[in-house]
A and B are shown apart, each in its own frame.
Chain A
Amino acid sequence: DIQMTQSPSSLSASVGDRVTITCRASQSISDYVNWYQQKPGKAPKVLIYAASSLPSGVPSRFSGSGSGTDFTLTISSLQPEDFAAYYCQQTYSTPRTFGQGTKVEIK
């Protein structure tokens, strides 16, 4: 199985801050990484697919980068509605695996 190591597990930040979350794969997975946002009591929502592509409707303050084993999700200017949990997922091989998650909290 491919392990996805996500960090940090939690962070505190203020509105307007730039936030970076990283995910490292246990082997090279090209750009088969997706990022999700999950708010309490809700299903996850895809933010980034194929490492750096933004679905229609997702704000441009979200961006993704990386290839191979190291990937990053960046929120350029944190907004109140961005306080949530974030997960990376690899779809290079099965079983699909997720990172452990990052909880973004208000400072």
Chain B
Amino acid sequence: QVQLQESGPGLVKPSETLSLTCTISGGSISRNYWTWIRQPPGKGLEWIGYVYHSGSTNYNPSLKSRVTISVDTSKNQSSLKLTSVTTADTAVYYCARPNGPWADALDIWGQGTMVTVSS
């Protein structure tokens, strides 16, 4: 049973870099690709981007200049970095697994981690 767990600081100062990690357990990171999603408080879901185990990435153009998603296959982890954060980046951040045969529906999600941007 594959499980995902996000971790990282819950508070980030404006203009600094948000860094989160998604640890995959119960399966190999190399068997799939991995997506990051975020949800501001009381609002809808926003797709941030994804990374293949090879390191190939695809980002939301609205965030592309500030976001980096990577994988560390030795640790079975994916990482998200978002630079120059503002209060608009305050959100719950999720990692999730797209299921290819399921039209890439996100069939496994982490529990999410709340990140607040504030001085």
Taken residue by residue from 20 to 57, chain A's Cβ proximity to chain B (1 for < 8 Å, 0 otherwise) reads as: 00000000000111101000001111100111010100
* CB closest residue in chain A, given B110: A43
Cross-chain contact of B105 among A42, A46, A97, A101 (Cβ < 8 A): A46
Size of the chain B interface, CB-CB below 8 angstroms: 25
Nearest chain-A residue to B59 (Cβ)?
A95
Let me know if A96 is at the binding interface, CB within 8 A.
Answer: yes
Indicate if B99 sits at the interface (CB-CB under 8 A): yes
Q: Return the CB mask of A38-82 against B: 1 if under 8 Å, else 0.
A: 000011111001110101000000000000000000000000000
Q: Interface size (A, Cβ < 8 Å)?
A: 27
Q: Does B26 contact A (CB under 8 A)?
A: no
Q: Contacts A98-B44, A101-B44 given: A91-B60 contact, CB under 8 Å?
A: no
Instruction: Name A residues whose Cβ lies closer than 8 Å to a Cβ of B.
Output: 1, 31-34, 36, 42-46, 49-51, 53, 55, 87, 89, 91, 94-101
30 examples of A-B residue contacts, CB within 8 angstroms: A31-B103, A33-B103, A34-B102, A34-B104, A34-B105, A36-B106, A43-B94, A43-B110, A43-B112, A44-B106, A46-B106, A49-B102, A50-B103, A53-B102, A55-B102, A55-B107, A87-B44, A87-B45, A89-B45, A89-B47, A89-B105, A91-B103, A91-B104, A91-B105, A94-B60, A95-B47, A95-B62, A96-B47, A97-B47, A98-B45
Q: State the B residues within 8 Å of A (CB).
A: 35, 44-47, 49, 58-62, 94, 96, 98-99, 102-107, 109-112
